Amino acid sequence: MRMLLFLGTNFAIVIVLGLFLNVILPAFGIQLGNTAGYLVIAFVFGMGGSFISLWMSKGMAKRATGAQVIEQPRTQEERWLVETVARLAKGANIPMPEVAIYPAPDINAFATGANKSNSLVAVSQGLLRNMTADEAEAVLAHEVAHIANGDMVTMALVQGVLNTFVIFLARVVAQIVNSAVSRGSSSGQGLGFIGYFATVLVMEMVFGIIANIIAMWFSRKREFRADAGSASLVGAPKMIAALQRLKGSAEPELDGQLVAFGINGKRKELFASHPSLDDRIDALRRL
């Protein structure tokens, strides 16, 4: 039911900004007829869209999952959760994140937020029901490591650069197609506004798919680092045990950015946000 949260939001922002570039700017007499102009505007809007998504990420994550932040622990389980995150955050030398529980039967958790001082660690009810204390501690350490490594900002930067090239290359290709059509037409007419705009949208979708593949490659590399961070905080055996527990669990329900910053990701090869659990376990055993 939930759409892709981070990459989906970025793609929507790219489309909206594409509308702005092609409709609003010309309406104010701003023409973008040269390559340098396209690149500058694409950079501004591409990076801007990514960091808007990053700034909105924590609130969007709470709404998307129904996560309830633990303001004051009411149960022994909530108290353990908050105290464990506080201890791990201190060990990783980061400010205390918000801690939340969200209603979901699958074993999962995620970290998000605009920066280390404004972060969130959330765990599913399924994780608390189905993992031992040591396994849950390792998962929490993994999420804290994401925050300590600055992964949210890193992925926003990567996505911003990719957005820039999606916006830029789509317009360059559309301009080339427009020029080719104009030369081949007896009237010397190009694609026209609608044809040009339709070409831009198609190219943004094509380049957006390629950008998604690249972003997920970065995400998989970053996942190994978070596993190693967990191992340094609580020990590799605990993290290995947590990953082995995940091998027998159902597919996670998180989407988008939440998958990328969760403990367990969907396994879809090029579009996978996480390496396979076996690869992650092997990497931990080699530490």
pLDDT in tens, 33-62: 567 767 877 887 788 878 888 888 888 889
Rounded to an integer, the average pLDDT of 194-205 is 85
**Rg for the chain (alpha carbons), in Å?**
22
Which of the two residues, 61 and 194, has the higher pLDDT score? Answer: 61
Rounded to an integer, the average pLDDT of 206-217 is 90
What are the catalytic residues?
A: 143
Q: Say what percent of the chain tops pLDDT 90.
A: 44
| Cβ–Cβ under 8 Å, residues 163 and 10 | yes
Rounded to an integer, what distance in angstroms lies between the CA atom of residue 126 and that of residue 3?
Answer: 21
Which of the two residues, 203 and 248, has the higher pLDDT score? Answer: 203
Q: Positive or negative CA dihedral for 239, 100, 88, 229?
A: positive
Residue 189's pLDDT is 65
pLDDT tens per residue, range 90-111? 999 999 999 999 999 999 999 9
Residue 3's pLDDT is 35
Rounded to an integer, the average pLDDT of 55-71 is 89
Mean pLDDT, the chain, rounded, equals: 83
Rounded to an integer, the average pLDDT of 182-200 is 71
Domain count of the chain? Answer: 1
Residue 4's pLDDT is 42
Closest CA to 138 of 73, 260, 232: 232
Host domain of residue 75? 1-287
Residue 57's pLDDT is 85
List the single range of 140-144, 196-200, 256-260, 278-282 with lowest mean pLDDT.
Answer: 256-260
